[in-house]
Structure 1
Amino acid sequence: MEMLRRSSVFAAEVFDRSPTDKELVSQAKALCRDYIHSRLNRAGIGWSRPEQGVAASGGKLAEVSLVVQWLGDELEYLRPNVYRNVARQLNITVAVEGVVSDAFMAVAADIFSTGVTWGKVVSLYAVAGALAVDCVRHGHPAMVHTIVDCMGEFVRKSLTPWLKKRGGWADITKCVVNTGPTLYSHWLVSAAFAFGHYLKAVVLYLLREK
């Protein structure tokens, strides 16, 4: 608990300057922990939050966390079947860490195969939350940490240059403030439908690998 609290506080303290790659990854993982905890709580699964999560710590990262969760809610509302029973859709077992890691990284790679947008970033967090719910429901809560680590690893390898160009995670809040309802709705619908196609592609890919 103390480690989670310290990491969240550290991640929240670096918004006053240009973040380093390491800080962007730390923030990505802190946001992922918050997102997963919110999804587990919403699913009615007994799971204690960190003593001080990102949302509770205040500051800019707390605002980012709330925005990511809210946008994730909208995506899940638009395409509920896409973000439920992800493990079943991917035809994987959640009992093996390597299987969960490989599946998450494969989905992430497909989502961003044609470029990076905030809609796709939120979509990946929605996948992480849904997969975490599957893992805990099937009696493998330790996989939550695996998913968080995978998020950090993918951000480190693929998203840090894009994030740095935008000044870090706080840029996502501009999507909510500066985008009108029509464009905002279109942005979410595009992300939701795009991920539906990515998920089908990854299912076929994983089946071929067996």
Structure 2
Amino acid sequence: AQGKCLCLQYIRCRLKRAGALNRKVVQRLRTITIESPNTNTITRDVFPILNGLGEELERMHPRVYNNVGRQLSRAWSDLPEADTLSLLLAEVAKELFRGGTTWARVISFIAVMGGLALDCVRLGRSDALPRLVEVFGHIIEEDLMVWLEAHGGWKGLLVIRASATEYTVMGWLSIGVAFLSTVYLSTCILDSLRRLIF
């Protein structure tokens, strides 16, 4: 349920970023009910990080995360039926996680879902959004739950993000060199000014 909640929030933000979040779409998204006691905490704590990383992936690889439907099916203009859509997404997940599961791949899969949701809305098929969230939840429960639990659940993303912000020895060394360079440059400039004045 937490994965579905995060996916739903990501889809909402993706549609908003693309300017595709209208009243009809908002109403359709509100029909998606996800019942779990911990979803509010997960959404509040984890979603900003997930959304930021997903946006970064979209910026770095726009060809991958835009027009996802056309990449999945040549006849995308005829939005596949629910069962076909489920099979297509299961194949995407299978291919994506074939080499192993990482946080980057999980976030990439969510970004694919956001791109696919945008394609559905652009085709006027916002009725497919609940199915997308359901399929995502099913794939998480069937294929990724063991990995997620082994890596701290969705809150494991907080640990990864926190460790990424800690400075390494090279980071501190770089800061020290930058500081000393600034002090040296300032001293040289002040010395030059003093010579000009006196």
TM-score over 0.5 for the pair: yes
- Structure 2: unaligned runs, 5 residues or longer: 169-198
Determine the structure 2 residue equivalent to 1:132.
117
Check if 1:86 corresponds to 2:68. Answer: yes
Counterpart selection for 2:94 from 94, 109, 118: 109
Determine the structure 2 residue equivalent to 1:33.
8
Larger Rg: 2
RMSD: 2.5
Determine the structure 2 residue equivalent to 1:72.
54
Determine the structure 1 residue equivalent to 2:177.
none
CA apart distance, 1:58: 5.6
CA apart distance, 1:74: 0.5
CA apart distance, 1:167: 2.4
Greater Cα shift, 137-146 or 173-182 = 173-182
Deviations 1:134-161 (A, max 9, x none): 0111011111111101111111111111
Counterpart selection for 2:131 from 146, 154, 172: 146
- Structure 1: unaligned runs, 5 residues or longer: 1-25, 184-210
**Alignment TM-score, normalising by the size of structure 2:** 0.71
Task: Tell me if the contact between 2:5 and 2:43 (Cα under 8 Å) persists in the aligned partners.
Answer: no
Tell me the secondary structure at the aligned position of residue 126 of structure 2.
coil
Task: Tell me if the contact between 1:128 and 1:147 (Cα under 8 Å) persists in the aligned partners.
Answer: yes
Q: Amino acid of the residue matched to residue 134 of structure 2?
A: D
Identical columns (%): 34
Check if 1:43 corresponds to 2:18. Answer: yes
